[in-house]
Structure 1
């Protein structure tokens, strides 16, 4: 609409809800030109095609490390069309909030690698450049602390930029324009605070506290990553609260793979393997069809898994091993981690539990990225939200193959919150499957899988040729 002013067609902006719908006006002519430039090259593509065909694959830069350049405005993400829709929905809602004090709730859903965190980080950077108050909040200590250390380092105000979901219990109304709630599947029923701050707890639903904290609360989530009984983040819950409060609501789903590496085909295969979503007859385990962008390897022993991953690290790739919560988790003895995970002569400790290094082992929040983390095995709580070039996954005795399907076993699980009697069987079943969904989808270039149970290894060997 080359002759239209934005103020005259503001009601049309909410209609741009997918990557095939973009609205440009007289005042966004520059954006329109940039949009076209991003899709058309002034030069023939022969040379670029030759370089692509002759190029070699190398390690991808982890999003957490790339994030520092984004927040400090030294670089920017080239967002996909889908991500640009989500980005624009937030920006349009911000304009409504600033102009008319209208409040919008935005939900962005997508699987691992779809770029939810990339959208959040780019929004944080661009909103800050415009002088618009915004911050990112998460429900994960490891993820938040890593954002503060790696993305916020040197910024001078990382604690204000990167907060927790329970940081807003005292808010009586919007304190900022935008609140980007990443990993929103980890929303809790209510906020729980450190014992020294218990008196501040309100008992209000956490989603209410977050929505009230900003004019435009944005929730970025993957419903297949709910891994604890008290996590209630879902699209239905967010939409339901917005509707009940009479707030405008919009939802954008990211279906494309944004990672440099990663595989939509593999993500689909994992969901079929684990039967997610539950009760979907179309979700049945099938043979790994192969994908030249992603490698799936089955190890015969955990020592073989470790050897494969150490070789990848020698080649310059990042790697970590994580496991289902199926072994005890001991406190350090004489300032040394206890090798609780023992499998046929191979033994390793869990990652550090706490924010203090133990020997050469990094603190819990930095296991995924700091030097020394490979020598411990991570759990879902330290791996969730992070990515590695290569992921090693130990499937414990809480998930076993029987009669052609994977079954969950309560007596094989050692997570006190998940295996508690108060957690009913259907919920336990879902949480264990979601846990392995998270662990199996941390890799950018490939995954190495080892299953403790003999029959499960045989089952997987039939699927992974």
Structure 2
């Protein structure tokens, strides 16, 4: 099976004009501020699928090539790291590093080990590039040996220049809860610049489909059935049929998987836990391979992936299961997440700085819709969506019957 995630991150020669412009701008910022007295921070914004990770990988390759090979470069013999707080993405980055003569696997680290090692050795990096910065912890996590309050702050303390990729619509846990206000409260203490990528490169769909997804996941509204043109977009009320159709896509194109919101029972133990709907029963992802990402294992066509195994990765066809916690109120035309039905209890651990139940409920609801946003933007060629909630299922039936809504 083609390693689409690795291929995508390696597409330096296929960068768009916008991506090349941003890549050059980031490089010039690094060179300009490498000798500053104080840290300099760049926040790289962009929605899922705009190519933030691709640009970041291209930038890091350039940094390490010049650091190790170009004695005439201002970056020669600089110490640089790429970090991401995502176990599956670390595998991909390390796999890429192992195939490049000027990249070392030790250049790629998760944030906590990198912070702790730099602190222990009283070292400072020249450049730290952070992918999926919205996954950085914003509170202590004793279990993972992070004892400070904010991973971004700790990385800035230990680097001359920090490039951080950020999308607050991909925040998935209360312990790493970010929004633009929290980010700005940190940036205001440093010289910094904000850059945004806008072009959509993962989902090869017409604008109508992308708008439909954003209306659903961000505005929480159900809108007219989109014009799909060459993109395969389908709404299902029968999960077993969606699974059959997706397996056919997998046989023809490969890399087609079921993925789901986290409102079905799951525990971190040695037992299988199942997603069960009428006529359908498949286990959650399990037996995670430490070296090979979940979607690249052929047997996982008979499993259902979680947000944690699929974030940051491409699928050819994504079959998204919207579980019973994603509900619909027809009279208000409003998608309503139900946090009490969410089974990812780790995602909802209460924070000391979230004092009211109303505040925590709002954050939980946002995390659930962020997960929906991420899941709906995995499919390159096509997207299938199943609704478990009866209200949403009924709305899907109406859309399928009339190809219009409201």
Is the TM value for this pair above 0.5?
A: yes
Of the three residues 300, 318, 343, the one matched with 1:391 is 318
Q: Structure 2, unaligned stretches of length 5 or more?
A: 68-74, 352-356
**Pair member with larger Rg:** 1
In structure 2, what is the Cα distance between the partners aligned to 1:331 and 1:108? 34
Q: Structure 1, unaligned stretches of length 5 or more?
A: 1-58, 278-282
Q: Given the alignment of the two structures, is residue 168 of structure 1 paired with residue 126 of structure 2, yes or no? A: no
Query: Could you say which residue in structure 2 is the equivalent of 1:346?
Result: 280
- For the 8 Å contact 2:137–2:175, the answer to whether it is kept is yes
In structure 2, what is the Cα distance between the partners aligned to 1:350 and 1:312? 20
Question: Displacement of 1:268 after TM fit?
Answer: 2.3
Could you report, residue by residue, the CA deviation over 1:325-344 in whole angstroms, capped at 9, with x for unpaired residues? 122225666xxx62521212
Where do residues 262-411 of structure 1 align in structure 2 (5 Å cutoff)? Answer: 262-274=205-217, 276=218, 284-330=221-267, 338-352=272-286, 362=289, 366-403=293-330, 404-411=333-340
- For the 8 Å contact 2:118–2:158, the answer to whether it is kept is yes
3-state secondary structure, aligned to 1:272: helix
Question: Displacement of 1:224 after TM fit?
Answer: 0.7
State which drifts further: 437-446 or 132-141.
132-141
Distance 1:213 1:331, change over 3 A: closer
Question: Displacement of 1:257 after TM fit?
Answer: 1.4
3-state secondary structure, aligned to 2:174: coil
Query: Could you say which residue in structure 2 is the equivalent of 1:261?
Result: 204
TM-score computed with the length of structure 1 as normaliser = 0.74
Query: Could you say which residue in structure 1 is the equivalent of 2:93?
Result: 147
Distance 1:431 1:314, change over 3 A: same
Q: Given the alignment of the two structures, is residue 220 of structure 1 paired with residue 156 of structure 2, yes or no? A: no
3-state secondary structure, aligned to 2:244: helix
In structure 1, what is the Cα distance between the partners aligned to 2:349 and 2:183? 27
Could you report, residue by residue, the CA deviation over 1:385-420 in whole angstroms, capped at 9, with x for unpaired residues? 111010011111101112222111233221113456
In structure 1, what is the Cα distance between the partners aligned to 2:154 and 2:177? 14
Distance 1:60 1:389, change over 3 A: farther
Query: Could you say which residue in structure 2 is the equivalent of 1:414?
Result: 343
Q: How many residues align?
A: 378
- For the 8 Å contact 2:294–2:309, the answer to whether it is kept is yes
Distance 1:340 1:286, change over 3 A: same
In structure 2, what is the Cα distance between the partners aligned to 1:265 and 1:81? 23
In structure 2, what is the Cα distance between the partners aligned to 1:457 and 1:260? 24
Query: Could you say which residue in structure 2 is the equivalent of 1:182?
Result: 131
Question: Displacement of 1:136 after TM fit?
Answer: 1.7
Query: Could you say which residue in structure 2 is the equivalent of 1:230?
Result: 175
Could you report, residue by residue, the CA deviation over 1:17-74 in whole angstroms, capped at 9, with x for unpaired residues? xxxxxxxxxxxxxxxxxxxxxxxxxxxxxxxxxxxxxxxxxx997232343xx3xxxx
Could you report, residue by residue, the CA deviation over 1:190-211 in whole angstroms, capped at 9, with x for unpaired residues? 453656xx4xx44242111111
- For the 8 Å contact 1:94–1:177, the answer to whether it is kept is no
Question: Displacement of 1:239 after TM fit?
Answer: 3.6
In structure 2, what is the Cα distance between the partners aligned to 1:219 and 1:264? 27
Question: Displacement of 1:453 after TM fit?
Answer: 2.0
State which drifts further: 368-377 or 248-257.
368-377
TM-score computed with the length of structure 2 as normaliser = 0.84
Question: Displacement of 1:322 after TM fit?
Answer: 0.8
3-state secondary structure, aligned to 2:384: strand
Distance 1:393 1:126, change over 3 A: same
3-state secondary structure, aligned to 2:14: coil
Q: Given the alignment of the two structures, is residue 450 of structure 1 paired with residue 356 of structure 2, yes or no? A: no
Of the three residues 423, 427, 431, the one matched with 2:367 is 431
Where do residues 112-131 of structure 1 align in structure 2 (5 Å cutoff)? Answer: 112-131=48-67
| Larger RCO, structures 1/2 (Cα 8 Å, 6+ apart) | 2
In structure 1, what is the Cα distance between the partners aligned to 2:216 and 2:26? 35
In structure 2, what is the Cα distance between the partners aligned to 1:79 and 1:237? 31
In structure 1, what is the Cα distance between the partners aligned to 2:147 and 2:264? 36
